[in-house]
Amino acid sequence: MNVNELKPNQMIYGNKGNVWSKTAHIYESGKGNLCGTPALATNWARIEGVQVIGCQDCLKKVKAN
C-alpha cells in the first residue's frame, strides 16, 4: 500500500529497522499503529520519505475496515 492511499487520519510510521526492512506501519491518530506495535521511536519512515507500507498486520487491518 502506498502512502497516498492512506486516510486523512493515518500516516506512515517506522523506526530505522522498519525503514531498512521495508516494514513500515500505518499509524492512526488517537490509536497508534494498527498492528499494535508501540510507536516509541523517531518516525524514520517519514523522515526518510518511505512511500510504501510493508507491515502485513497493518495492511490486513486497514483492508478489513
pLDDT digits (tens, 9 = 90+) for 39-65: 998 999 999 999 999 999 999 999 998
pLDDT value of position 55: 98
pLDDT digits (tens, 9 = 90+) for 3-52: 999 999 999 999 999 999 999 999 999 999 999 999 998 999 999 999 99
Determine the pLDDT at residue 5: 96
What is the CB-side half-sphere exposure of residue 23 using CA atoms within 13 A? Answer: 11
Number of H helices, E strands in the chain: 3, 3
b/e map 24-56, b = 16+ CB within 10 Å: bbbbbeeebbbbebeeeeebbbbeeebeebbbe
pLDDT of residue 61: 95
Grid coordinates 500505518 are at which residue? 26
How high is the pLDDT of residue 65?
80
pLDDT value for 35? 97
